[in-house]
Amino acid sequence: MALLFRLILLVVIVFSLYTAIKYMLSPRRKLELAHEQGKFYFLDDPKNIRKNFLLTYNGVLFEGEKYLGTTERSFEVVSIFIWPKNTADLKGLKRDDFLKIEAAIKKHYPASSIDWKSPVKEFLNRD
């Protein structure tokens, strides 16, 4: 009986450690932490074109939708649409901030054209 209890206790400890490590290394948790701290973080699965990417910048969470197309040499992501998850969070962002976001996305998808959805699109088109 004592041996069974020790075995169960060992399994619970190993499972707890595994769960804690998995949680600490989770990309989603890193995104949430960067969002709370107002830092930049880009969460994407480049192998899955159908899955949207998320990024946070200065406490604003953005979502981006990727579209596959052809370039001169291969199939690549050629079009990206980005929008803020909450437009009220855009307060205080400047044009340069959006250009930095575009530059960070271009590092991952250099062959893509980036289009913003409302209200950012109107803000960037204003001269």
Q: DSSP labels for the chain?
A: -HHHHHHHHHHHHHHHHHHHHHHHT-HHHHHHHHHHHT--EEE--TT-TTSPEEEEETTEEEEEEEEEEE-SSSEEEEEEEEEES-GGGGTT--HHHHHHHHHHHHHH-TT-EEEEPTTHHHHHH--
Domain boundaries, the chain: 27-125
Query: Which residue in 81, 45, 40, 39 sits closest to 63, CA to CA?
Result: 81
Q: Whole-structure pTM over 0.85, yes or no?
A: no
* pLDDT by 10s per residue, the chain, length 127: 888 889 999 999 999 999 999 988 888 999 999 999 989 999 998 888 889 999 999 989 999 999 988 888 888 888 999 999 988 888 888 889 999 999 999 999 988 999 999 888 888 888 5
